[in-house]
A and B are shown apart, each in its own frame.
Chain A
Amino acid sequence: MKNLKTPLQQSGINVPISGQSLKTTAENKTGIWRNVEPFYLDRISPCAQVCLSGHDIPVIIELVYENKFEEALKILRLANPLPASTGRVCPAPCESSCLRKSLGGSVSIKQIERFLGDFAIENRIFCLSKGPHRGRIAIIGAGPAGISAAYFLAIKGYFVTVFEEKKKAGGLLRYGIPSFRLPKRILDRELEIVFKQLPVEFIYEKRITKDYEKLLRQFDSVIITCGKSISQIPDIPGAGEKMSGLTFLEQINNGDSQPLSGSVAVIGGGSTAFDCARSALRLGCDSTIYYRRSKKEMPAFEHDITEGLEEGIQIVENVIPIQIDKNGDYKITFAKTTSKDRKSAVKIIPNSEFAVTTDHILFATGEKQEHLFNKVQKETGGIDVSQTYRTSDPKLFAAGDVTVMAPGTVAGAILQGRLTATSVHNYLNKTTEPHPAKIPHLRGAKDDGTTIEKINLNYFQELRRSAQKATDIKSRLKNFDEISSTLNENSVAWEVKRCFSCGTCVYCSNCMNYCPDNAISFDSSKKRFSVNLDYCKGCLICVKECPRHCMGSKYAAA
């Protein structure tokens, strides 16, 4: 009989007769099969990428999901001290880019922000300063950018003095946006909880113009945030300052408005035009908006247009006023135009003039800035600033619509206020803190976006967006009361449940549960998953089954 011994047996090594582990299943280090390996990577969600203030939205939503409203508010305030206000007036590009859109409508992110803002007001959750207190900063203008800069400097420990030419703080939020969109009581209460415990002093009815140079000597640093507060009236015969849409809105917001009758013609196509037209409706007028381009080219936000049309505003497209005659009422002569897009100039159609008779005219054709800060201001308008909001004078900074970088939205002005605060801090301390336009993602997400194709839609069913309660149209037009109400806690809970949490791990454990090699584990103290590469054979089921694109893969040597 021949020697039935294998080579290893002859050298004294006995292996099992088949592929068996000798002790535990862990004997088989399947990791040696691997040529690709998975990794965890949180990504900035589409909503956060477009957020005008740079919020880390999925993290806020996750905290709301866990009913941790106060913690969520804390995160909100990392980028924005005024969530109750922006939660009402923000154009919410986050919702337009929300990947949930096709499965029941985008998540009501704006309403969640509003809910948290109202939560802060109702529970009087004040903003606090970290200290130690140092440095004195002057801010010219208490609009969104000024408020934001004051807040972010104050919480860092600076003494801030805000000079405001009007009677109260808020700027556009108070004097531009009508109460039916943002009740002034909300703004008052929000400003109170933000500033009550911060070292910020407001000096009202103090107009700073050329004397800003004096402030530069008194303060360590000065920030100009006075916005654009004057209507730009086109230079046509018969047009005048008294037709200013902004002034009209300001009067109403000051409580100085008189009932109007007859008809009003609003010239323009932005949010101000709609605010004017809708306010006029409430004062008793018929409102018609005349716009030089077509309706789809209007710069007004979609919800302004929709709500305006609901309330009965007429829109006349592709017309441009060329002359105004007053003879008791007004006669406006319009010419018809053609337009291609918002950027190219409109073309007037020759011999297309026609006349409209109206009782009132309001121009909402943009705003301009007075030429007050001659050393740093361009002849054409805005204050020239660098990417870090510095002017040519090292002590002087500027942010918001007064600058050449005019953001055009409240949320954008708040962002610039925040970034300017960092610049001022860096200037005063000779430090180089970064200026992140986005709040640094709390889990270190990379700006490597996610798209609907990367979301595993098998894990998400269609869930309808909560309807926001709104006053019926007839009652709306009787006063300037707020139209919509804040979502209740149940609806907010529903909305946060609808969030995909694109790119942000919510510890669903799919990766761990599907791993055929049991190679994934979760460290509950660090709240972190990790892959044991001794056993990961690179099948990438984890990556595929991650519902929200928080994983990726790369080629790797085994």
Chain B
Amino acid sequence: MPRHELLTGNEAVAHAVAMAKADVIGIYPITPQTTIIEEICNLAANKTFSPKIVHVESEHSAMATIIGAAFTGVRTFTATSSQGLALMHELLHWAAGGRLPIVLANVNRAMAPGWSIWTDQNDSLSQRDTGWMQFYCESAQEVLDTIFLAYRVSEQVLIPSMVVLDAFVLSHTSEPVEIPDNETINKFLPNFTPSFKLDIDNPCSFGALLRPQFYQEVRHKLNDAMSEALIKINESDKLWKQLTGREWGIVTEYRADDADYLFVTSATTASTAKPVIDKLRKEGLKIGLIKIRVFRPFPFEQVKKYLTKCKRAIIFDRNISYGHHGIFAQEIKSALYGVKNSPEILCYTGGLGGKDITPQLIEETIIKGTKTKLNGSLFEWI
């Protein structure tokens, strides 16, 4: 039987990692992630699970440690934020190139300088091209469920996963969370049997030299595995629904079916937007919501499916690619290039460095987005 607990987003991560029985966890503190590893240490101290917890001197070493561990075929975890993730950058490539099913929780925090501990997505989106899967969550429940899904899919396709949650808004805010029983988890997430591993009885080298013809071959395979991952995510989501009644989708919609306008966003902004959608619907505006939950692999088909049905998409990014515009917006536009019935697209960026995204702000953005006379695509700061 599932049980219910009041958990913050970070605690949800910790509980899921404990239930997934991660074997090796490299830890190094950084706000706002620190409470994840604190809770993991609590759970380990209480014998909820028995991981090897490795205290290291930097995020780089935290990732290096679990890469080494993952090569031996065990389940691994670490968590970080912002500068910590940036410091891991080189090793993120190693984890993906090494095809290691590592799961990492990144609590979105703005990059310094200026110094900030508050949320935006530029830290995780800067790691877009490292070959990791990225899941953006909007609730503690989604976080908990996504950790299980991430382990399952990562171990199926051998690509590491980054589960992303917003600083404070999600990481430090308590919500009731349904925690499945162990039996359910065992069904969903069986023990990991690696297809290759470091083995002193069968010495092989990993991550060594690849000549050009093989290098591209291996990269080709990684990219193919990303495509396969979308299928596996979908399958796993279905199984999760059977086991728990919950599904999270790849791209989720809210009142989008008959919408003329779609508000497209990610993470907790989507939660905030839902009452605004309801209010505007009541006022007669045919508006719906699309949330991009899986950012890598990018859900081209789902994006096409929803966005070709509307007249205009209002994309709200909590991130910015300097010299361009919001990163989700770029990706959505590229997915729609040359597609029949593509909508008009307006790109807004706001909420950086923890700047509050309130229902009023979303409402203003939508109103602005519906009324603006469009001449090509538009980018504006909110």
Contact = CB atoms under 8 A, between A and B. Distances in A.
Interface of A: 1-2, 4-8, 15-25, 27-30, 32-33
Interface size range on B against A = 20 to 34
Contact of B227 (A4, A7, A17): A4
Contacts of B210: 19
B204 A21 contact: yes
Interface stretch (B31-39, B113-121, B217-225, B244-252): B217-225
16 contacts: A4-B227, A7-B220, A8-B217, A15-B214, A15-B218, A17-B158, A19-B97, A19-B206, A19-B215, A20-B207, A20-B208, A21-B208, A24-B204, A28-B205, A28-B208, A30-B209
B206 A6 contact: no
B241 to A, nearest CB: 22
Nearest to A6: B220
A17 B218 contact: yes
A16 B158 CA distance: 12
B205 A20 contact: yes
Interface string B190-207: 000000100000011111
Interface string B250-275: 00000000000000000000000000
A525 to B, nearest CB: 28
Contact of A27 (B158, B205, B215, B222): B205
Nearest to B158: A17
B380 interface: no
A20 B206 contact: yes
A7 B203 CA distance: 28
A17 B208 contact: no
B100 to A, nearest CB: 8
B98 A15 contact: no
Contacts of B228: 4
A18 B206 contact: yes
B217 A7 contact: yes
Contacts of A24: 203-204
Contacts of A16: 196, 218
Nearest to B159: A17
B324 interface: no
A20 B227 CA distance: 22
B8 to A, nearest CB: 36
Contact of A20 (B196, B224, B231): B196
A549 to B, nearest CB: 30
A15 B205 CA distance: 14
A16 B98 CA distance: 10
B211 interface: yes
A25 B205 contact: yes
A499 to B, nearest CB: 40
A6 B207 contact: no
Q: Which of A1, A7, A16, A28 has the most chain B CB atoms closer than 10 A to its own CB? A: A16
A30 B208 contact: yes
Contact of B208 (A1, A4, A7, A19): A19
Nearest to B196: A20
A30 B205 CA distance: 12
Contacts of A15: 214, 217-218
A8 B211 CA distance: 14
